[in-house]
């Protein structure tokens, strides 16, 4: 469950103010956020993830008030409960597919890397059809394959919430459909809630609910 109340956020040296009086996303719900550029879609995802904190109001994610948490606790909470997928994949070019999938485990002490995690990473990679490329450097993968690696990276800690920022923005139509399929299937398979930002109405139409940022303007 995501619950946002009386939210107000403004970047420094910016006239734009994101205001949101009330937003709720139920557990296991799959919500697409649409809206014009600059309407605050990515900012909203960052607030839900606890990457940024609001100036006013509260953000409750998975039953926790992330906006009130100290930085360290919020970071640990994010690692353990939220999977992030980015428009430009944000993979580390110097790592293999497997190392990129396991990256959260290399970076955070809140996650413990063991054989079961490695097995889960392999299963996820097999599920998105990159299982035969686990030891290949990600720089040698296609765009579609890279986004699948990023999807596995978000799923491997078994989060209860997946936040995807324009996950198909850099993909061709074939890969776009494939990645959306995998995103929806895998989120459902792990029982997670999914909130995705997209410009693509066709993609958005496949979600349970579409949330238009203009409604909050």
- Per CB under 8 A, 78 contacts other proteins: yes
Distances (CA, A) of 15 to 10, 33, 39, 53, 55: 7, 22, 12, 18, 14
Least gap, CB of 133 to other proteins (angstroms): 17
Least gap, CB of 191 to other proteins (angstroms): 21
Q: Which one of residues 34, 66, 79, 151 is an interface residue with other proteins (CB under 8 A)? A: 79
- Per CB under 8 A, 94 contacts other proteins: yes
Least gap, CB of 24 to other proteins (angstroms): 24
**Binding to other proteins, residues 47-76 (CB under 8 A):** 49, 51, 72, 75
- Per CB under 8 A, 103 contacts other proteins: yes
Least gap, CB of 71 to other proteins (angstroms): 8
Q: Which one of residues 104, 134, 144, 145 is an interface residue with other proteins (CB under 8 A)? A: 104
- Per CB under 8 A, 153 contacts other proteins: yes
User: How many residues interact with other proteins (rule CB under 8 A)?
Assistant: 25
Q: Which one of residues 53, 64, 108, 143 is an interface residue with other proteins (CB under 8 A)? A: 108
- Per CB under 8 A, 111 contacts other proteins: yes
DSSP for 190-203?
Answer: HT-EEEEE-S-HHH
Least gap, CB of 51 to other proteins (angstroms): 6
Binding site for other proteins (CB under 8 A): 49, 51, 72, 75, 78-79, 84, 86, 90, 92-95, 99, 103-108, 110-111, 113, 137, 153
């Amino acid at each position: 469950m995501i619950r946002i109340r009386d939210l107000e956020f403004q970047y420094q040296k910016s006239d734009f103010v994101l205001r949101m009086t009330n937003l709720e996303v139920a557990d296991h719900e799959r919500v697409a956020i649409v809206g014009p550029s600059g309407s605050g879609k990515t900012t909203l995802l960052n607030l839900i993830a606890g990457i940024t904190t609001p100036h006013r109001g509260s953000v409750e994610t998975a039953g926790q008030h992330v906006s009130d948490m100290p930085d360290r606790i919020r970071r640990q909470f994010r690692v353990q409960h939220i999977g992030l997928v980015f428009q430009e994949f944000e993979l580390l070019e110097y790592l293999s597919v497997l190392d990129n999938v396991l990256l959260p485990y290399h970076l955070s002490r809140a996650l413990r890397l063991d054989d079961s995690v490695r097995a889960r990473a392999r299963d996820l990679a097999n599920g998105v059809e990159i299982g035969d490329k686990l030891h290949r450097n990600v720089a040698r993968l296609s765009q579609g394959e890279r986004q699948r690696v990023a999807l596995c990276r978000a799923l491997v800690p078994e989060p209860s919430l997946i936040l995807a920022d324009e996950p198909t923005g850099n993909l061709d139509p074939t890969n776009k459909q494939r990645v959306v399929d995998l995103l929806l299937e895998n989120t459902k398979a792990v029982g997670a809630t999914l909130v995705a930002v997209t410009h693509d109405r066709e993609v958005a139409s496949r979600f349970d609910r579409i949330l238009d940022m203009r409604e909050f303007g």
